[in-house]
Chains A and B, each alone.
Chain A
Amino acid sequence: MFDLLANLGLGFGVVFQVNYFDILGFAIPIPMNVVYCLLGALVGTLIGVLPGVGSVATIAMLLPITFGLPPVGALIMLAGIYYGAQYGGSTTSILVNIPGEATSVVTTLDGHQMARQGRAGPALAIAAVGSFVAGCVSTVLVAALGAPLTAIALKFGPAEYFSLMVLGLIFAVVLAKGSLIKAIGMILAGLLMSMVGSDLETGVGRMTFGIPEFSDGIGFVVVAMGVFGFAEIIRNLESTAESRDVVKAKITGLMPTLADLKASAPAIARGTVIGSIIGILPGAGAVIASFAAYTLEKRISKNPERFGRGAIEGVASPESANNAAAQTSFIPLLTLGIPPNAVMALMVGAMTIHGIVPGPQVMTKQPDLFWGMIASMWVGNLMLVVINLPLVGVWVSLLRVPYRLLYPSILVFCAIGIYSINNAPFDTVLAAIFGIIGYWLIKHDFEPAPMLLGFVLGPLMEENLRRAMLIARGDVSVFFTRPISGGLLLLSAVLLVLAALPMIRQKREVLVVE
């Protein structure tokens, strides 16, 4: 307990560290990390509010602007961007009935109904408050679980790591939208594409087609922006008619009534618990968390018929859940170095660019970064409440920007962003090709998220597979005979079989389609 407090203290110390800036001869103290966090949450919301731009695309787009910052600041800003994007997604769900984000799909059900009844203010406020409460609880949870999990992770050998990644990928498949087998195909495609470039051990160029630009491999930002950013634009251009149902009425009265608060308090608590638990599991954590929380609220409600007609619990619970899950999904990344979903996969990429190898050694070798990031989660959530409630009007007006002006802007911004990573024009063209591929994938019902996850995990998996095989002197059975590794693989197999069973498959489809 004391350790926990000491660690959190260290974290907050990092976040609130002040730098002195010489302005007009006065040394003005500015807590730069708080500023980064604030900026991140602000631009994250700004981009996240735009319809059709999810949090993966938002982070991919904004990643280049963090390159110039010191590593701690950059990661704190990225975390801020992530929460901002999440919150922005909820705002569009409530106001426009377009979920900016898969995690806020359920929020549309009751949130938009509330907005239509003129209660957009309370809906937005409860979403923010719920997110904040969930954020506080899950920050402590991340801090508490960080150390013990890291201790376990340090005992892991390559075989365990490999099996753990298999489990993570299987989770991602089981919890993904649509067909199981197609999601597996996408993961394998991602793994295969990650093999392009120099071999880590021998330095031989692999599958480079003689193109020198490929010798460093394909950049993950290139893939992410292509299949999430560009492909989404191309698809949105297909439907010309803009059928946006923006709430035109002026938003008055942000404050929820006492009855609202009374009704949502238990819902927030339940959402937080569900979200925290589901978020730790690898896979589409936050999405499933919000669905599960909503379903639970509806089940245990005394009058479930209110749901879908503007019940405030229907906003409070899933919003708390998705924020809690967004936060706890950092646990596998920070302790094990394994990204549980596409957003965390991007965070891995960002960390690598800053020279940080995610994994258990981060906590021991760079405690300031580790605890600073955890503390910044709480600060980031506070920022969301502080900046978003007064700015709701601004976000609404942003929603009225027509798409014909929006998409070229996003495109130019992305193009500059990709180019700035390596100053390589080739990367932007490659991203455009991935955009076309992504469009093709959407047309054929393939989910790009598992592909990105496979793409990021590919090199890690290969490395651990190679090492495990070398240590075991070529004996494949090592993955099954070592207890932890065998257990993880068994769990993966059970999950896969369960998900493929007809009964569960139907339930899964219902959950995803709803």
Chain B
Amino acid sequence: MSEVVRGAQRKRLTTGHHTIDLWAGVAPVGLAAISFIAAWQYDALSGVGLFLNTLGLALGLLGLVIVGLRVHVPNHRDYYGGLALILLALVAFWSGSDLAGMRGFSFGAGTAPRLFAVALALVAGVITASGLVTKGEPVGGYAVRGPIYITLSIIAFALLIRGFTFNLGDTLVRVPAFGLIIAGFACFMISAVGSKETRWVESSITAAALTAFCVLLFVYLLGLPFQLWPRF
């Protein structure tokens, strides 16, 4: 990791940025914390424990250097991309900490996941490092409207097709299954809000036609067991 820091410092000296890239510093510190918590689940002197503690130290140091020396991260795509993959590896270590390791010559349930996670963490470290030493285009803004309505429409479909229950205070509320027709139509209409170009009449007609087509295809032609209409 020391190479990473040196590379970053060089960058700072050459570019001379003086605004603090706070998120770029906070992110690795947060990961360091997760790394230490994950390490806590393992024997500190075992290979995995040592690996996670070292990783945590390196990440913590990275974050401090970035904030302390006001390092400007030149390639955000690689930097955050690498950190996200480190997060994935850490989650795997944490959630797989209860799994058995090697027993003699035979792999335990946890051996292969840990092997892949170590490899992922190392590769992700290199990606993060390349984010500090290479130039790249900024990530650019995220669209908000599209992802929100797309996600909402799928969640709506999932909830409507089978029904669901939830607790409201002390009472258990049961929402009945609405069936394929209503779920499909609702999914179409909600996702249509995701585009600014949507025209309502046109979309409603298409939604109805598509729902009919899907019912015909999945239920009548393919014979899949779908519930069509609401059942209370």
Contacts and interface: CB of A to CB of B under 8 A. Distances in A.
Contacts of B136: 445
Nearest to B224: A420
B155 A429 contact: yes
Given A185-B127, A207-B92, A445-B77, A425 B159 contact: yes
A250 interface: no
Interface stretch (B22-30, B44-52, B59-67, B193-201): B193-201
Contacts of A208: 95
Given A185-B85, A206-B96, A411 B162 contact: no
B222 A405 contact: no
A185 B123 contact: yes
Contacts of A428: 154, 157-158
A185 B120 contact: yes
Interface in B57-92: 77-78, 80-82, 84-85, 88-89, 91-92
B92 A425 contact: no
Overall SS of chain B's interface: helix
A424 to B, nearest CB: 9
A435 B124 CA distance: 21
Interface in B152-211: 153-155, 157-159, 161-162, 164, 180, 184, 187-189, 191-192, 194-199, 202-203, 206-207, 210-211
Contacts of A179: 78, 127, 130
Interface stretch (B1-9, B11-19, B32-40, B140-148): B140-148
Contacts of B100: 202, 204
B116 A230 contact: no
23 contacts: A68-B222, A179-B78, A179-B130, A181-B127, A185-B85, A185-B123, A185-B127, A191-B120, A202-B100, A208-B95, A230-B150, A402-B197, A404-B195, A408-B187, A408-B203, A419-B161, A420-B224, A420-B226, A425-B157, A426-B158, A429-B155, A439-B142, A444-B81
A188 B222 contact: no
A181 B143 contact: no
Interface in A200-243: 201-202, 204, 206-209, 230, 233-234, 237-238, 240
Given A405-B206, A408-B207, A181 B123 contact: yes
A473 B85 CA distance: 33
B203 A404 contact: yes
Contacts of A204: 99-100, 109
A431 interface: yes
A265 interface: no
A65 interface: yes
Contact of A237 (B81, B146, B199, B206): B146
Q: Which of A65, A402, A429, A444 has the most CB of B within 10 A?
A: A444
B120 A192 contact: yes
A195 interface: yes
A67 B225 CA distance: 12
B133 interface: no
Interface in A415-445: 415-416, 419-420, 423, 425-426, 428-429, 431-432, 435-436, 439-440, 443-445
A412 interface: yes
A469 B110 CA distance: 15
Contacts of A233: 146, 150
Contacts of B224: 64, 67-68, 420
Contacts of A484: none
Interface string A9-32: 000000000000000000000000
A203 B37 CA distance: 27
Contacts of A470: 105-107
Contact of A411 (B108, B109, B191): B191
Given A191-B120, A408-B189, A465-B112, 15 more contacts: A188-B85, A189-B85, A191-B116, A192-B89, A192-B116, A206-B99, A206-B110, A238-B143, A240-B197, A404-B199, A416-B184, A419-B158, A458-B116, A470-B105, A474-B105
A429 B198 CA distance: 24
Q: Which of B112, B195, B217 has the most CB of A within 10 A?
A: B112
Contact of A195 (B112, B124, B189): B112
Q: Which of A67, A428, A469 has the most CB of B within 10 A?
A: A428
A192 B93 CA distance: 10
Size range of the chain A interface in the assembly: 35 or more
Interface of A: 64-65, 67-68, 179, 181-182, 184-185, 188-189, 191-192, 195, 199, 201-202, 204, 206-209, 230, 233-234, 237-238, 240, 402-405, 407-409, 411-413, 415-416, 419-420, 423, 425-426, 428-429, 431-432, 435-436, 439-440, 443-446, 458, 462, 465-466, 469-470, 473-474
A411 B112 contact: no
Contacts of A415: 153-154, 157-158, 184, 187
Nearest to B207: A408
B105 A473 contact: yes
A192 B113 contact: yes
B117 A466 contact: no
Contact of B192 (A238, A404, A445): A404
Contacts of A445: 77-78, 81, 136
Nearest to B122: A188
Given A420-B226, A428-B154, A412 B139 contact: no
A425 B161 contact: yes
B214 interface: yes
A415 B223 CA distance: 17
A474 B112 contact: no
Contacts of A206: 96, 99, 109-110, 113
Q: Which of B80, B81, B139 has the most CB of A within 10 A?
A: B81
B151 A435 contact: yes
A234 B217 CA distance: 26
B214 A412 contact: yes
Contact of B206 (A188, A409, A416): A409
A444 B157 contact: no
A182 B85 CA distance: 10
Nearest to A454: B116
Contacts of B189: 408
Contacts of B96: 195, 206-207
A419 B183 CA distance: 12
B127 A182 contact: yes
B203 A65 contact: no
B119 interface: yes
Nearest to A184: B123
A55 B199 CA distance: 30
Nearest to A475: B105
